[in-house]
Amino acid sequence: MKHRGILFVLAVASYGLAVSAQNSGGGSSPGSPNGQEQTVPAQASVSQASSSQAAIPTSTAANAPATPPHGQQSSTQEDESVATIRKTVNEVNVVFTVTDKHGRYVKDLKKEDFKFVDDSKPAEDVKDFRTQTDLPLQVGLLVDASNSVRDRFKFEQESAIEFLNQTVRPKYDTAFVVGFDVTPEVTQDFTDNTEALSRGVRLLRPGGGTAMFDALYFACRDKLLKAPRSGPLRRAIILLSDGEDNQSHVTREEAIEMAQRAEVIVYTISTNITGMKAKGDRILERIADTTGGRAFFPFQMRDVANAFVEIQDELRSQYAVSYKPADFKLDGRYRTIEIVAMDHRNFHVRSRRGYFAPTR
């Protein structure tokens, strides 16, 4: 029996499948839209961080969820265990938004209204297409608590609290709060309790330098990428900052890459009050644009609340597609994504620009 088991593992591995043993039991794989086998998006199947793997100092006011063990030996319980095949599925999941010429959200289009292009080639097959107006959310609120945002800090806190109260639905959505200056600090871990989230926002205190890239990298790698998924969902980060960074250990592009690996859409809200776009604003635009989000520049304080309202509206006005790329290779290479509306003169599509293919 052991020899046959070894041969089976080798045969499966030759097709790029990973075989792991787990205790027998019924039920479907987590994350499966059909309640059967889990579909792992190509960009999500890479669990390693960016090549630099910089150590980011963090402090937490609430413990992060425990990471499940990678695996357990079952050699003493071979008769009670069953082989479970986990495979890298060559499918890509993308959440995107469509607006008309006036910037209004378009929510009633069909699969046939779009062209899906992966790495400059049309997708081989569209597996699933749906309007995601009610999909569960995992949201991270990242608030710049450096000295540079002190003037508007209190107002921004109240606007963020109102956003969380309006967006997070109990027993359905979850969110966490991170404040950052030199280091990111979790003032409230994942929860669906809006009162706890409000307390987490009020615990934030301005002061110190700015390590914005570290905070974004940390929120994507250590929070959202490791968060459990029980089915299809959307992951988003709302980043409040002036965009200036003088303390990070990772670069802007490394932070963006980690957001792409975690399938996170980043919305940025500038805290610049000069009335003119600065260097930091262009950085915020870059982060939002490459992840499929939007950059907001509320030069007046009352516009901060409006930006949160627009983000909330967009999170409930999106589409999701799952497609199989043509000529797909497990080479770890960055692949571009382009979603084009057939009526491109009247409709504008916004999505993340690409993903990293998994490796064997």
pLDDT of residue 41: 40
pLDDT of residue 149: 66
Sheet holding 59-60, edge to edge: 59-60, 184-191, 174-180, 137-144, 234-241, 264-270, 295-296
The torsion region of residue 142 among left (phi > 0), alpha (psi -120 to 50) and beta comes to beta
Residue whose C-alpha is closest to residue 253's, from 281, 287, 224, 220: 287
CB-based contacts of 174: which residues, under 8 Å, 6+ apart? 136, 137, 138, 139, 168, 190, 191, 192, 227
- Token readout for 323 is 């497609």
- Token readout for 31 is 């994350």
- Token readout for 104 is 């209004």
pLDDT of residue 56: 62
Please give the chain's pLDDT, 360 residues, in tens.
444 444 333 333 343 433 333 343 333 333 333 333 333 343 433 333 344 444 565 555 544 444 444 444 444 444 433 333 344 458 898 999 999 999 999 999 999 999 999 999 999 999 989 886 667 899 999 999 887 666 678 888 999 999 999 999 999 899 999 999 999 999 999 999 999 999 999 999 887 789 999 999 999 999 999 998 776 778 999 999 999 999 999 999 999 999 999 999 999 999 887 878 899 999 999 999 999 999 999 877 778 889 999 999 898 889 989 999 998 999 989 999 999 999 989 999 999 999 989 887
Helices (H) and strands (E) in the chain, counts: 7, 17
